[in-house]
Homo-oligomer: A and B are copies of this chain.
């Protein structure tokens, strides 16, 4: 099965990157399933119902999020009627939305997607491991599900790597998100799980984590507040990974980074033509 996962969409440029590239790639690569992290799609902060729909219309089958999920308060409402959008699984019981859900891929395969939030250098939240394990227990890879994808939204590389190793052999893909900077450590772990510490973001890379660089630079020097921080402009890049999974085991055959458009070194799966 052919799966693509793209990192945090940041603002208008990030949405443009998705619009420009995703529909074409879905077709060209005959993608079976696409996940996009949308937590910064609305001006860098959160996501609106309209923007969520826009990302789905461009070819995403599932939208994951992270610490910015509720920045647009309407997300607390519309997530209940938008089953394709997830919020981190480790919010307290009763929180609107879901942190894991089953999807049907274009090829009819059954896919579990789970979205968890890390806790190192981040706001206090519940243990992500127990609810994730509960979801994996009832959706076993290779029997109940054909693929399982985990988006661990976290700051620390150590925490994301722990999730990779902890889940190795039990899910198809573990991707980190949140730092908005793609890492180059993508690989298939010993047990068969495709892993990358961070997908990077979809947006303008000539900035500071997707935001215009002028104010962040000034603020780090002067240490007093000033202008609002707004998304950077400039060439639109998409960033993420392409994974081919084994249809019988659900494990990964290979993982290749995707970086298209803009200032980064271009990359993509030559395997898919």
Contacts and interface: CB of A to CB of B under 8 A. Distances in A.
A122 to B, nearest CB: 8
Contact of A120 (B124, B125, B190): B124
Interface stretch (A25-33, A91-99, A105-113, A138-146): A91-99
Nearest to A209: B158
A124 B221 CA distance: 11
Interface string A123-142: 01111011000000000000
A253 interface: no
Contacts of A166: 217, 220-221
Interface hub of A73, A96, A162, A182 (most chain B Cβ within 10 A): A162
Contacts of A21: none
A224 B91 contact: yes
B161 A208 contact: yes
Interface string A182-218: 1111110110000001101000011111000100110
A180 interface: yes
Q: How large is the interface on A (under 10, 10 to 19, 20 to 34, 35 or more residues)?
A: 35 or more
Contacts of A157: 179-181, 209
A155 interface: yes
Given A70-B225, A121-B121, A265 B94 contact: no
A185 B200 contact: yes
B183 A183 contact: yes
B181 A182 contact: no
Nearest to A179: B157
B129 A165 contact: no
Given A95-B223, A265-B186, A162 B205 contact: no
